Amino acid sequence: MASAAPAQLRLGEVLLDAGYITEEQLNQALSLQKSSPDKKRLGEVLVENNIITEGRLNTALSKRLNIRYVSMSDAPVDMAAVAKIPKSVANKHCLIAISMDSSVLRVNINDPLNYYAIEDVKLITHMQIEVQVCNRSEIVKAISEYYSEIETQKSALAANESASQTNAFTYVDISETADDTPVVALINSTLYKAHSAGASDIHIEPFDDNTYVRIRVDGQIVDYLTLSASLHASIVARIKILSGLDIAEKRAPQDGHFRAKLQDIEINVRVSSLPTIYGEKIVMRFMSQSGVLDHAGTFGMEQDDYQKMMSILQSPHGIVYITGPTGSGKTTTLYMVMEMLSKRFVNIATIEDPVEKALKKVNQSQINPLAGLTFESGLRSILRQDPDIVMIGETRDAETASISVRAALTGHLVLSSLHTNDSVSAIVRLLDMGIEDYLLANSLVGVVAQRLAKKVCPYCREEYIPKENEVRVLGVRPEKLARGRGCHNCNNTGYKGRIAVHEILTIDNTIRGMITHGSSTEEIYRYVRDNNKLKDLKTSMAKLVADGVTSFEELLKLTYFVE
């Protein structure tokens, strides 16, 4: 069993013996350490000043101390083990327990030479400690994720206990904001945990026996909490208060949003309530969720799609639509485009419901129907403000579409989102809204259809030889395809992370003529396909499948409507 390092062993000696640093570099680091106001450990100083990489430092320590150098993703984490060490101690010493059996606690630590940290853990847990060295960034992230999970479970337990103490419903003062109120603590910790896990939505669903809380991570719904059904009314009431909804109205759907700051994290949440036979279902959607984005410098697009998009945005006037189903990343793309456009010498104004992210040099307005500020009235007012670029959060009806088109015809570049299955369908959708064909032909400059494809989990990824039906659909014969078996890193879904897929239609003179003369969707598709003017969603998805980025099943799911 690997255990605590001898107290007299010094990091500098270990690295010198391994040949990873020189005496001069060690003296330089020691000097920097002495002058450091926050008393950093030598390892931190060496890494922060690029004298040695964290990987080489940990490799040297693992060899010298005969302990394992591990990653947090190597094995599932036992929450009971994590709970053995208080969060304050974990943060103080940059360590986290990952598993245990009988009297042995396995601990991932960034500095295995920190003898005092290991002794602290021994005293607190009364267990033998098996030390493993792990990168600081992984431990910091794990502490945030797993301790928030523990807090959420504690809150759920306290809330369930408070509900079970009486057979009748116990009213919780929903105006109370103290963290020790069970329902308030439960909602706060659930929001924090879901946000930390990278979730896009939280679903709170009432049934006859229990209330179930599920979260959507990487597009996949996963079970999270099971709560007492008697808690549901107070949970709904608390969320309604937060989001400005009518707590007395339980028979009609409602929409709202709220902003909050939970443990130094600022969140913006869209809330939707829907009456069901067992009560109101609540969905809370995180807006402007931060995370790693593939091709972040090109609006999440491949280079050739990005070039087409930039060509469309060079137009001084006209309307550009981002289309796709709910949750396909349309708003995220619109915000990235506006951030780029705001660097030009232009006046940008928006009308949104709600404003999801504050942008510099962009005049953003949020609709307020009770005050008379709707998409229609707001858009009319914006046009009197002399904007160069107008962004409309969503084109929902004929009146909004009509004003948008007329704004585009009078010298403005208009950006908006629209719900359609593909790029060409946007033309038919707008015509169905009552837009005259000649107005649409002269105002539309481009349509971007977007989807978010789930990526195969890198931890449980496996390759296999493609079947004949898969080769037929793909149109090529790759040597291997990829899929995920399912593991603890991906919640047993086989997927981890998502990547945007685009279909970009540039409106040329031929297409304008086809719109004016009432050509069908099939005729427009035939023209753009025969003239190589459109790389459709299926083609883009097929490339990702052949490259092993996503699975064949994901291709069938996302391109069903365009096959």
Name the residue among 558, 497, 142 with its Cα closest to residue 289. 497
Q: How far apart are CA 215 and CA 361, in angstroms?
A: 34
Mean pLDDT taken over the chain: 86
The pLDDT of residue 62 is 85
Domains assigned to the chain: 11-134 (3.30.300.160), 143-286 (3.30.450.90), 296-453+498-534 (3.40.50.300)
Name the residue among 300, 339, 538 with its Cα closest to residue 423. 538
What is the SS3 string spanning 46-87?
HHHCCCCCHHHHHHHHHHHHCCCEECCCCCCCCHHHHCCCCH
Task: For residue 9, count CB atoms less than 10 angstroms from its CB and return exposed for 0-12, middle for 13-18, buried for 19 or more.
Answer: middle
Q: Which two tokens stand for residue 102?
A: 């009988």
Q: Does pLDDT of 205 surpass 60?
A: yes
Q: Does pLDDT of 306 surpass 90?
A: yes
- Tell which wins on pLDDT, 287 or 320: 320
Q: Which two tokens stand for residue 481?
A: 């395809």
Q: How far apart are CA 348 and CA 413, in angstroms?
A: 9
- Confirm if 164 and 184 have CB atoms less than 8 A apart: no
Give me the mean pLDDT over the 288-306 stretch.
75
The pLDDT of residue 165 is 54
Q: Does pLDDT of 6 surpass 50?
A: no
Q: How far apart are CA 245 and CA 252, in angstroms?
A: 11
Q: How far apart are CA 48 and CA 242, in angstroms?
A: 42
Q: Which two tokens stand for residue 352?
A: 């949104």
Count the neighbouring beta carbons within 10 Å of the beta carbon of residue 143.
18
- Tell which wins on pLDDT, 529 or 506: 506
Q: How far apart are CA 221 and CA 223, in angstroms?
A: 7
- Confirm if 109 and 120 have CB atoms less than 8 A apart: no
Give me the mean pLDDT over the 226-243 stretch.
92
Range ranked top by mean pLDDT from 16-30, 375-389, 458-472: 458-472
Q: Which two tokens stand for residue 133?
A: 């060295």
- Confirm if 339 and 389 have CB atoms less than 8 A apart: no
Q: Does pLDDT of 349 surpass 90?
A: yes
Three-state DSSP state, 169: coil
What size, in residues, is the chain?
563
Q: Is the dihedral of CA 463, 465, 470, 472 positive or negative?
A: positive
The residues that bridge with 134 in the sheet, in sequence order, are 70
Whether the pTM exceeds 0.85: the reply is: no
Order of all β-strands in the sheet with 104-109: 69-70, 128-134, 104-109, 95-101
Query: What's the pLDDT band for 551 if we cut at 50, 70, 90?
Result: very high
The pLDDT of residue 121 is 94
- Confirm if 245 and 257 have CB atoms less than 8 A apart: no
Q: Does pLDDT of 388 surpass 90?
A: yes
The pLDDT of residue 561 is 41
Q: How far apart are CA 398 and CA 406, in angstroms?
A: 12
According to DSSP, the β-strands at 279-286 and 265-276 are antiparallel
Q: How far apart are CA 232 and CA 209, in angstroms?
A: 11
Give me the mean pLDDT over the 46-71 stretch.
84
Q: What is the per-residue pLDDT across 442-470, written as a single tens digit (0 to 9) for each?
A: 999 999 999 999 999 999 999 999 999 99
Q: What is the per-residue pLDDT across 160-183, written as a single tens digit (0 to 9) for each?
A: 776 655 443 333 333 334 455 788
According to DSSP, the β-strands at 210-217 and 220-228 are antiparallel
The pLDDT of residue 163 is 66
Name the residue among 423, 408, 419 with its Cα closest to residue 527. 423
Q: What is the per-residue pLDDT across 323-344, written as a single tens digit (0 to 9) for each?
A: 998 888 888 899 999 999 999 8
Q: Does pLDDT of 294 surpass 50?
A: yes
Q: How far apart are CA 165 and CA 180, in angstroms?
A: 17
- Tell which wins on pLDDT, 90 or 218: 90
Q: Is the dihedral of CA 308, 313, 317, 319 positive or negative?
A: positive
Q: Report which secondary-structure segment, H or E, holds 362.
A: strand 362-366
Give me the mean pLDDT over the 419-440 stretch.
91
The pLDDT of residue 427 is 93
